[in-house]
């Protein structure tokens, strides 16, 4: 969502102000074979998926981690990582880059720095320290002839503006309170899913969004979950813990309760009498830890370890905003932002549970604090360029925005959408909109897959395989491919299918198909907004 890009941008600006020759680029634009000619490399990396580099840094890592990567003796480097410690492989991308640069002979300018749920301004001290060290080293080497290269894992724009430069002052520290103008159920009667369409009134905020952007929504916790935590702690909600100026109920309402922090997991492991749980929480098997944590929250941890309120509060992190892909175009609705949200509700161990932001929007508020999260790498190409969109389930959101935008500008480029869900009768999201886009010619082709309607389950990637030759033809004709939705399964299945489509359509072996897909990524023609 641009945080790594913004930190790299700030570092580049500070270095340039100090008279240092700096280039700020996306990691995929850096070839490891070019690094021996550089004196310094500063990497700002976020972590995606299962501890991986984001797409716009994946090609860099593939080359850097290869057995034939060049020696980097003499290269001075520094790495900063942006991550979320509730995930087992916290900041893994920055860690593996840092370790690999050292393996290849590079020397650290400063130790690796980590930021947990990064907030604007937190990197100011690190930036200042790095610039001072760069200034001293460049000066000692005889001036500014050396190249200091700053790289970011967030896609850099052609005009290096800050990622949050949306013309307003609205951000996480100063969100805008938007009225919920529309809260409408999209799924039909009998569906086993609850997907809702929201429209948030931007009022006089001045927020100017683009198709492809996301909106950050700041929720509050479900009072029922707060009460369950208080019950486990044996504390009244109005008690004010030592060192705080708010009551326990207020602190818990605005803290992460569904994603226990690493500090809390360590504390629980130390106190629990359950040896198996202790092993899971302290072990090195990230898959096992992820499986154990899935669907559990703070209450589950308090059920296996006795902790005081002060101990728990000390480990809690502020409740982070949730990002949702915008499902509207400013060309058709500039005063409102449309969101497509699946309300999460389930029962486990006899207790009803619910998604933090999804049910806050659905059930508990008529207005919500928001701010824009520009997504500069997920943008439409020129109106005459063909596009392919793969967006099952709520992944349809940005593509509804794309199609509305293309219809508004009278785009001439062809468009192909792969959409799927469980049942056509109940889960065909935005059916009327898609049919209207098709009738108007804005949507050239629509392929659908409803996984529970037939004897065999069929998904969007099955449709891609059925039309492999045509799909490959669109790609060779210059089409841009976009994927949005589930990262854990769907995005990986689609990526594997894409390689198969390319191999089949182009008559390529696995290496040739891999190179073709890498070229799509390098040229920003294969873009993913997955979660």
Residue ranges with strand state E in 70-147: 76-83, 107-108, 113-116
Q: Do the Cβ atoms of 304 and 277 come closer than 8 Å?
A: yes
Q: How confident is the model at residue 3 (pLDDT cuts 50, 70, 90)?
A: confident
Q: How confident is the model at residue 513 (pLDDT cuts 50, 70, 90)?
A: very high
The CA distance from 300 to 260, in Å, is 10
CATH of domain 3-141: 3.40.50.360
Q: Residue 209 is encoded by which pair of tokens?
A: 């969004």
Q: How confident is the model at residue 137 (pLDDT cuts 50, 70, 90)?
A: confident
Mean pLDDT of the 126-154 span? 67
DSSP assignment of 396-428, as one string?
A: GHHHHHHHHHHHHHT--S-EEEEEEES-HHHH-
Give yes or no on whether 3-141 and 223-318 have one common fold.
no
Domain boundaries, the chain: 3-141, 176-217+321-373, 223-318, 387-530
In this model, does residue 194 exceed pLDDT 50? yes
Within 10 A of 203 (CB to CB), how many other CB atoms are there?
Answer: 14
Domain 387-530: give its CATH architecture. 3-Layer(aba) Sandwich (3.40)
Q: Do the Cβ atoms of 323 and 175 come closer than 8 Å?
A: no
The CATH number of domain 223-318, selected from 3.40.190.10, 1.10.3720.10, 1.20.990.10, 1.10.540.10: 1.20.990.10
* pLDDT tens digits, 10-56: 999 999 999 988 888 899 999 889 899 888 999 999 998 778 899 98
Antiparallel, parallel or unpaired: β 40-46 and 148-152: parallel
Residue 149: what pLDDT? 41
Crossing angle of helices 92-103 and 55-64, in 10° steps, is 30
CATH of domain 176-217+321-373: 2.40.30.10
């Amino acid at each position: 969502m641009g945080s790594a890009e913004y930190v790299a941008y700030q570092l580049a600006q500070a270095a340039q102000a100090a008279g240092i020759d700096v280039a700020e680029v996306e990691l995929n634009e850096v070839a490891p074979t070019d690094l021996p000619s550089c004196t310094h490399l500063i990497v700002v990396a976020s972590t995606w998926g299962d501890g991986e580099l984001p797409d716009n840094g994946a090609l860099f890592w593939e080359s850097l981690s290869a057995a034939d990567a060049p020696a980097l003796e003499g290269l001075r480097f520094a790495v900063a990582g942006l991550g979320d410690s509730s995930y087992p492989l916290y900041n893994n991308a920055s860690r593996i880059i840092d370790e690999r640069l050292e393996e290849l002979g590079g020397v650290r300018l400063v130790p690796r720095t980590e930021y947990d749920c990064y907030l604007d301004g937190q990197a100011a001290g690190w930036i200042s320290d790095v610039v001072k060290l760069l200034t001293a080293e460049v000066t000692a080497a005889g001036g500014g002839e050396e190249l200091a290269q700053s790289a970011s894992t967030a896609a850099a724009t052609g005009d290096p503006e800050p990622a949050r430069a949306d013309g307003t002052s609205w951000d996480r520290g100063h969100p805008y309170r938007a009225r919920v103008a529309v809260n409408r159920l999209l799924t039909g009667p009998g569906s086993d899913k609850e997907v809702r369409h929201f429209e948030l009134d931007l009022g006089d905020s001045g927020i100017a969004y683009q198709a492809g952007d996301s909106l950050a929504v700041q929720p509050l916790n479900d009072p029922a979950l707060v009460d369950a935590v208080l019950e486990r702690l044996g504390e009244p909600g109005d008690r004010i813990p030592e060192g705080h100026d708010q009551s326990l109920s207020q602190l818990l309402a605005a803290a992460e309760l569904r994603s226990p922090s690493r500090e809390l997991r360590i504390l629980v492991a130390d106190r629990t009498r359950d040896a198996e749980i202790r092993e899971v929480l302290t072990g090195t098997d990230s898959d096992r830890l992820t499986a154990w944590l899935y669907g559990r929250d703070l209450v589950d941890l308090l059920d296996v370890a006795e902790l005081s309120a002060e101990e728990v509060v000390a480990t809690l992190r502020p409740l982070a905003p949730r990002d949702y892909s915008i499902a509207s175009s400013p060309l058709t609705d500039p005063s409102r932002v449309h969101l497509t949200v699946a309300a999460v509700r389930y029962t486990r161990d006899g207790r009803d549970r619910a998604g933090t932001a999804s049910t806050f929007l659905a059930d508990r508020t008529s207005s919500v604090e928001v701010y824009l999260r520009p997504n500069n790498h997920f943008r439409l190409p020129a109106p005459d360029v063909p596009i392919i969109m793969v967006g099952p389930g709520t992944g349809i959101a940005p593509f509804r925005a794309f199609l509305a935008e293309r219809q508004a500008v009278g785009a001439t480029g062809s468009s192909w959408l792969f959409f799927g869900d469980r049942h056509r009768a109940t889960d065909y999201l935005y059916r009327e909109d898609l049919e209207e886009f098709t009738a108007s010619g804005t949507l050239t082709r629509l392929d659908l897959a409803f996984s529970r309607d037939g004897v065999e389950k069929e998904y969007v990637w099955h449709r891609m395989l059925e039309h492999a030759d045509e799909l490959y033809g669109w790609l060779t004709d210059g089409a841009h491919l976009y994927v949005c939705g589930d990262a854990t399964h769907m995005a990986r299945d689609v990526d594997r299918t894409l390689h198969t489509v390319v191999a089949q359509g182009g008559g390529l072996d696995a290496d040739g198909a891999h190179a073709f897909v890498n070229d799509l990524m390098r040229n920003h023609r294969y873009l993913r907004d997955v979660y």
